């Protein structure tokens, strides 16, 4: 029987921390639920998931929908799109059955590439290889979550570049419904023996095709990693950009300001998924508004910095032991001036 392989290539970089990552997990679960309930899909669809951050891995190998169990998505620093495409091409080579003179192989694989940011590696060579050898033999749909995805780079991969923007409750369900519907439609048409390259009609209230890539947006979030002093477990602090316009009669100035979006517990696995070059970037704390508590132990601030340059949680002034370098440090009452912290690459 000819299979219809569906690959989800998912951006699990830090800017996805919190709600977005959880939504992507829910999206996979909902899509699989729909596919299982559809006789055509049930018969032909096989699903695989490749996750990418600084590192890339196949977290769910290609299996039939009945046996597919939606994986927990990782989180890491970096957006290695080039490496993700390389992994996708290897996965296609390894698991998709090619048509030979004697036998029909699998149907054209469908790929959903979902990302919310900019590549932190150089995806150029992988994009060239993709276009030379894989583009015509697959249906790739690239979906940018929000305005900050790099639509220019996605456009180099496929004509099917879609932006999804959430504006109200229920939008995400529409988005998930569309993905499910597009897989079901394809499985139905291959069930009838024809392959179609056309996408089902988009729900224009939440998504649209990108024809001309918009100018590359500025970085929209800042993420910082710390460790809990008590439990030693890592956490991620996320700030989102808020444009503050300072205007007088004579001039107007946009000042970069980042508001606290949340502080999330991380797994130790985070470091395996991260790009090791992550600490070359600095941000001044004066542009960060809001300080979170520790998500592990409840200490009042997760935003204290050791002389080693790393963040830890403390419960006010006093002596603390750094969970990174084990040094004893004394914290005085907070100074009002900003200091520089290492940020990761989002």
300 near Zn ion, judged by CB under 5 A: no
Query: Other CB atoms closer than 10 Å to residue 39's CB: what's the count?
Result: 11
Chosen residue from 66, 209, 286, 325 binding Zn ion by CB under 5 A: 325
Q: Answer left, alpha or beta for residue 5, where phi above 0 means left and psi between -120 and 50 means alpha.
A: beta
CB atoms under 10 Å from CB of 184, counted, come to 20
Write down the least CB distance from residue 307 to Zn ion, Å.
Answer: 6
**Cβ nearer to Zn ion, comparing 205 with 327:** 327
- Residues in binding contact with Zn ion, number by CB under 5 A: 11
Instruction: Kindly state the smallest distance separating residue 266's Cβ from Zn ion, in Å.
Output: 12
Tell me the β-bridge partners of 139: 110
Examine residue 209 and tell whether it contacts Zn ion (CB under 5 A).
no
How far apart CA 315 and CA 78 sit, in angstroms, is 31
**Measuring CA to CA, which residue among 30, 77, 38 is closest to residue 55?**
77
In the range 220-239, which residues lie near Zn ion by CB under 5 A?
A: 228
**Least distance in Å: CB of 118 to Zn ion?**
30
Residues 244 to 283 in contact with Zn ion, rule: CB under 5 A: none
Which of 3, 108, 296, 343 binds Zn ion (CB under 5 A)? It is: 296
Contact 229, 302 (CB under 8 A): no
CB atoms within 10 A of CB 269: 13
Closer to Zn ion by CB, 2 or 324: give it. 324
Q: Which of 32, 294, 305, 320 binds Zn ion (CB under 5 A)?
A: 294
DSSP string, 53-116: SSSEEEEEEEEEGGG--PPPP--BS---HHHHHHHHHHHHHHHSPPP-SSS--PPPPEEEEEES
Would residue 286 be called left, alpha or beta, if left means φ above 0 and alpha means ψ between -120 and 50 degrees?
alpha
Q: Is 206 in the site for Zn ion (CB under 5 A)?
A: no
Provide the total of helices (H) and of strands (E) in the chain, helices listed first. Answer: 6, 17
Q: How far is the CB of 300 from Zn ion (least distance, A)?
A: 10
Does 299 help bind Zn ion (rule: CB under 5 A)? Answer: yes
Q: Does 297 bind Zn ion (CB under 5 A)?
A: yes
CB of residue 334 to Zn ion, shortest distance in Å: 17
Nearest to Zn ion of 216, 308 (CB atom): 308
The least CB distance from residue 27 to Zn ion, in Å, is: 31
If we measure between CA atoms, which residue out of 70, 6, 104, 80 comes closest to residue 346? Answer: 80
**Could you give the C-alpha distances from 25 to 111, 248, 300, 328, in angstroms and in order?**
17, 46, 30, 40
The binder of Zn ion chosen from 322, 344, 345, 346 (CB under 5 A): 322
Is 308 one of the binding residues for Zn ion (CB under 5 A)? yes
286 vs 325, beta carbon nearer Zn ion: 325
Question: Where on the chain is the footprint of Zn ion (CB under 5 A)?
Answer: 228, 294, 296-297, 299, 306, 308, 313, 322, 324-325
């Amino acid at each position: 029987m000819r299979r219809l392989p569906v690959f989800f290539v998912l951006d699990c970089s830090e800017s996805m921390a919190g709600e977005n990552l959880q939504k992507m997990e829910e999206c996979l679960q909902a899509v699989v639920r729909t596919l299982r309930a559809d006789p055509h899909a049930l018969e032909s669809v096989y699903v695989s998931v490749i996750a990418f951050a600084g590192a890339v891995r196949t977290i769910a190998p290609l299996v039939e929908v009945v046996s597919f169990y939606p994986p927990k998505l990782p989180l890491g620093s970096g957006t290695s799109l080039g490496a993700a495409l390389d992994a996708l091409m290897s996965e296609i080579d390894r698991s998709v059955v090619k048509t030979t003179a004697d036998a029909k192989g699998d149907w054209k694989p469908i790929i959903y590439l979902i990302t919310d940011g900019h590549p932190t590696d150089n995806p150029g060579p992988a994009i060239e290889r993709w276009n030379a050898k894989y583009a015509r033999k697959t249906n790739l749909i690239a979906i940018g979550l929000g305005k900050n995805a790099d639509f220019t780079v996605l456009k180099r991969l496929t004509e099917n570049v879609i932006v999804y923007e959430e504006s109200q409750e229920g939008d995400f369900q529409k988005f998930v419904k569309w993905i499910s519907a597009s897989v079901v439609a394809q499985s139905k048409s291959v069930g009838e023996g024809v392959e179609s390259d056309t996408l089902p009609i988009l729900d224009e209230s939440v998504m649209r095709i990108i024809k001309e890539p918009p100018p590359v947006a500025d970085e929209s979030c800042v993420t910082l990693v710390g460790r809990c002093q008590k439990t030693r477990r890592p956490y991620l602090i996320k700030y989102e950009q808020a444009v503050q316009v300072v205007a007088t009669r004579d001039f107007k100035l946009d000042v970069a300001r980042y508001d606290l979006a949340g502080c999330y517990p991380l797994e130790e696995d985070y470091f395996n998924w991260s790009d090791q070059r992550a600490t070359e970037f600095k941000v001044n704390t004066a542009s960060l508004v809001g300080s979170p508590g520790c998500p592990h132990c409840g200490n009042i601030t997760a935003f204290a910095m050791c002389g080693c340059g790393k963040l830890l949680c403390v419960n006010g002034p006093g002596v603390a032991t750094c969970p990174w370098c084990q040094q004893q440090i004394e914290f005085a009452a907070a100074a009002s001036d900003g200091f520089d912290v290492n940020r990761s690459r989002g």
